[in-house]
Structure 1
Amino acid sequence: MKTQVVIIGAGPAGLLLGHLLRAEGIACIIIERATPEYILGRIRAGVLERTTTDLLHRLGIDARLNAEGMLEDGFALADGERLIRIDTLGLTGKHVTVYGQTEVTRDLMDAAPERGLEIIYEAANVALHDIETDAPYVSFEKDGATHRVEGVFIAGCDGYHGPSRQSIPKNVGREFERVYPFGWLGILANVPPCHHELIYANHERGFALASMRSKTRSRYYIDVPLTEKIEDWSDDRLWDELAVRLGPEAAANMTRGPAIEKSIAPLRSYVFEPMRHGNLFLAGDAAHIVPPTGAKGLNLAASDVTYLSDAMTGYFNRNDRDGVAGYSQKALARVWKAERFSWSLTKLMHRFPEDGPFERRMQVAELDYIASSAAAQTGIAENYVGLPI
């Protein structure tokens, strides 16, 4: 098979890129190792920047987003006694939208057939070849046969564990990583949210987050040591801990219910440079990971594919090679700003094992400053709704 762009990975990054390229008349094929059911079974974040919703509106894949998405005017930081509201709409003129990543993925999948976006699922042993040449290709196995797809470019949208980044020689790339000494224990339940906006809480017992997927489905988190086991956390124990950490105002409005999903996710900050080698381009989690504090993962993938689709459209439709040449530098400039925001919010709202009284006083001082400073709140709000593309 031959095409113009071979996309590896049918998560949100790969699907968004495929739809953007097809909208410009560029041929592409997506190769995915998993089944659609497996992909849609993964529970992920659900706070979308304008960057992401603008892409879905631009593509016209927004009917359910418009009907079910919840516009959020702000969010709150809690310190155990008070809620410090960050008025993102008032400070920036922008909303974020609560709409689950799983729903975004489902919408993109459902729209693929009518728009001529070919997706090959259950592709085993995916491998990249000749990425430093003008004739790169991807091989995979399916239905007992080995297949080969040739393209001008390969887009690696296959996540942290995928083969794309691993195909770049070790002496070419550089990795930057910060592994955090805790994970997020999360519970998803069919109960109404305790607050109409997200709450990030810094309590003496640890971090907590109150968020939602809809008006009838809530997502809560607490941070726990990496040694914790999910089986040691009954629903009742987790609800009790959330009530303490989120503070009395949120606890008074919390509705408890049985978990429909419960898991512990480790946290890390990670960036791989460069995001291009030869005719291979990385996007999304294949190139970077952020801690979920601030909800930047999916939104960074959306900005990556915005840059990448524009670059490839320029190459194929206008014979403009500048966008392709500058993709990595342009994408990384925004990636590092998002990494900084996620890292700084994580440091502010979590208690680290190595921290002592001095670090705690710094957190208290920072929260006091944010509570009293419109300038500080504006900086947080600008980053939370998403920096300009």
Structure 2
Amino acid sequence: MRTQVVIIGAGPAGLLLSHLLGLDGVDSVLIERQSAEHVQSRIRAGILEAGTVEVLRDAGVGERLGAEALRHRGIYLQWPGHREHVDFVDLIGRSVSVYGQTEVTKDLMAARERADRPVFYGASQVELHGVDTDRPHVTFVDADGQAHRIEAQVIAGCDGHHGPSRQALPAALRQTWTRDYPFAWLGVLAEVPPSTDELIYAWHRDGFAMHSMRSSTISRFYLQVRPGEDPAEWPDERIWTALATRLGAHDGGWQLTTGPITEKSVLPMRSFVATPLRHGRLFLAGDAGHIVPPTGAKGLNLAVADVVLLHRALVAWLLDGKPELAESYSDTALRRVWRCTHFSWWMTTMLHRHGDDFDARLQLAQLDAVRTSTAAATELAQNYAGLPIGC
């Protein structure tokens, strides 16, 4: 089999790249190790930057997003005695949208089916070959046990942190930077209407808490816990008590709505950046090249930014014979990656209890600076609502 671009990984990054390339007449084949049902069911980020929303709408996959997403003007930052609204629209004229990654994936899968673009789900033994030659190819075994070889002009690695793409880079070129945080999140999905009109990020002496939402009837919550903590140690009553304590520690009569909890999981907190994001005919995008802690809501949005840059580069190279954007892809993408990594680190270290009381006082001083300084609040809004792609 021959194609122009082999895309390894059929999550949101791979699906979006295939869709954008297809709109410009560039052929692609998707290879995914999981089943379509598994890909569609993965629960991930739910906050879309203004730029991500614009990309999806311009690509023709934003109809349901436009109808169902919850638009948010900003967020609440909370610490004892304070709940401060950071209004992004007032500060920078942009908002964010709550629309789950699961829903983005469904929209992109539906677009792929309409366009009848080839995809192999349940692939195993995926190997990349000749990435530093003019004739790279990928070999794998499909879900029925049949071996395949696909030749291409370019391979795009959108296969996440544990996929084979990054490992295909020469070991002498690979560099990685990692920060493992001394805490994790207990993520909770509950069948209750949100108790807030905007997301709440709460600093508390017992640990961080967050109130998010998925719809008008489904709420999402997070609690700071120890790394590797067993969700079974958190029965529903303990979860609601901790959330009420950490989210209710401010002046006012706010009440937390409780109800049935349908899902519990523990999420590790990690920052990871790999370089380069391009070698020869291999390009990395999304989690294959970088991971951020979820505090700043950057993960899916960073992947979309990578894909937009990569799409532009590949169209210019494969259709117009102009390799300049492809040659600069890694450096261009990494500028934004590092800025978003810094913002995610800043939000994470400001809001989670760690260290001693000295560290706590520094965190409270940072939060108070956002409350009292328009410049500090604007900086937060610009980063949270999304930097320009290519910035």
Query: Which range, TM-score by smaller chain?
Result: over 0.9
SS at match of 1:114: helix
Matched, 1:268 2:248: no
Aligned AA (1:236): E
Distance 2:326 2:51 in 1: 20
Matches within 5 A, 1:224-303: 224-248=225-249, 252-303=254-305
Q: CA deviation at 1:79?
A: 0.6
Residues 221-242 of structure 1: per-residue CA shift (max 9 Å, x gap): 0010114211110011101101
Question: In 1, Cα distance between the equivalents of 2:87 and 2:27?
Answer: 43
Partner residue in 2 for 1:191: 192
Deviation at 1:41, TM superposition (A): 1.8
Spell out, residue by residue over 1:124-173, the C-alpha distance to the aligned partner (whole angstroms, 9 max, x if none).
11111111111111111022221011110000000000000011122111
Superposed, 1:104-119 pairs within 5 Å as 104-119=104-119
Residue equivalent to 2:25: 25
Cα offset, 1:348, TM superposition: 0.3
2-structure distance, mates of 1:117, 1:50? 28
Range moving further from structure 2, 244-253 or 372-381: 244-253
Query: For residues 69-88 of structure 1, what are the structure 2 equivalents within 5 Å?
Result: 69-88=69-88
Aligned residue pair count: 387
Greater CA deviation, 144-153 or 281-290? 144-153
Q: Which residue of 1 aligns with 2:344?
A: 342
Q: Letter of the 1:164 partner, please give it.
A: S
**Partner residue, 1:386:** 386
Deviation at 1:253, TM superposition (A): 3.0
1:251 CA drift (Å):
8.4
Q: Partners in 1 of 2:358 and 2:210 — Cα distance?
A: 24
Displacement of 1:248 in angstroms is 4.6
1:78–1:201: 8 Å Cα contact kept in structure 2?
Answer: yes
User: For residues 327-361 of structure 1, what are the alpha-carbon distances to aligned partners after superposition, in whole Å with 9 as ceiling and x for unaligned?
Assistant: 00000000000000000000100112xx1222111
CA distance in 1, matches of 2:259, 2:40: 23
**Structure 1: 5+ residue stretches without partners:** none
Q: After the TM superposition, which residues 1-389 of structure 1 pair with which residues of structure 2 at under 5 Å, given as runs?
A: 1-142=1-142, 143-248=144-249, 252-352=254-354, 355-389=355-389
Distance 1:75 1:117 in 2: 39
Q: Is the 8 A contact 1:48 1:98 kept in 2?
A: yes
Q: Secondary structure at the match of 1:203?
A: coil
Contact preservation (8 Å) 1:22, 1:116: no
31 and 251 in structure 1: CA distance in 2 versus 1, 3 angstrom threshold = farther
Query: Contact 1:6–1:29 (CA<8 Å) still a contact in 2?
Result: yes
SS in structure 2 at match of 1:179: strand
C-alpha displacement at 1:116, in angstroms? 3.5
8 Å CA contact 2:199, 2:211 repeated in 1: yes
Contact (CA 8 Å) 2:190, 2:262: kept in 1 or not? yes
Q: Is the 8 A contact 2:296 2:384 kept in 1?
A: yes
SS in 1 for 2:193: coil
Q: Distance in 2 between matches of 1:133 and 1:50?
A: 38
Give 1:113 deviation, angstroms: 2.0
Q: Distance in 2 between matches of 1:105 and 1:114?
A: 14
Q: SS at 1:228's partner residue? A: coil
- Is contact 2:79–2:249 with CA below 8 Å preserved after alignment? no
Q: Percent identity?
A: 50
Q: Deviations over 1:283-329 (max 9, x none)?
A: 00000000000100000000000000000011122111101000000
Residue 161 of structure 2 aligns to a residue in which SS?
coil
In 1, the alpha carbon distance for the partners of 2:369 and 2:41 equals 41
Q: What displacement does 1:54 show?
A: 1.1
Q: Structure 2, unaligned stretches of length 5 or more?
A: none
Tell me the distance in 2 between the aligned counterparts of 1:227 and 1:342.
21
Amino acid at match of 1:62: G
TM-score by length of structure 1 reads 0.97
Moved more, 358-367 or 244-253: 244-253
The one-letter amino acid of 1:288's match is: H
**Separation in structure 1 between the aligned mates of residue 133 and residue 263 of structure 2, nearest angstrom:** 45
CA distance in 1 between partners of 2:183 and 2:113 (Å): 42
Distance 2:7 2:342 in 1: 28
SS in 1 for 2:342: helix
Provide the alpha-carbon RMSD of the alignment: 1.2
What SS does the aligned partner of 1:126 have? strand
Amino acid of the residue matched to residue 112 of structure 1? R
SS of match in other structure, 1:75? strand
Which amino acid is the alignment partner of residue 45 of structure 2? A
Question: In structure 2, how many angstroms separate the alpha carbons of the residues matched to 1:131 and 1:80?
Answer: 54
Contact kept, 8 Å, 1:195 with 1:253, in 2: the verdict is: no
Q: Return the offset for 1:252.
A: 3.5
Superposed CA deviations along residues 173-213 of structure 1, whole A, max 9, x for unmatched, are 10000001111001101111110100111000000010001
Residues 5 and 153, structure 1, Cα contact 8 Å, conserved in 2: yes
For the 8 Å contact 1:243–1:251, the answer to whether it is kept is no
1:61-94 Cα offsets, whole Å, 9 max, x none, are 1111011011100101101221121110111111
- Tell me, in whole angstroms, the C-alpha distance in 2 between the residues paired with 1:75 and 1:28: 39
State the alpha-carbon separation in 2 of the partners of residues 217 and 293 from structure 1.
Answer: 20
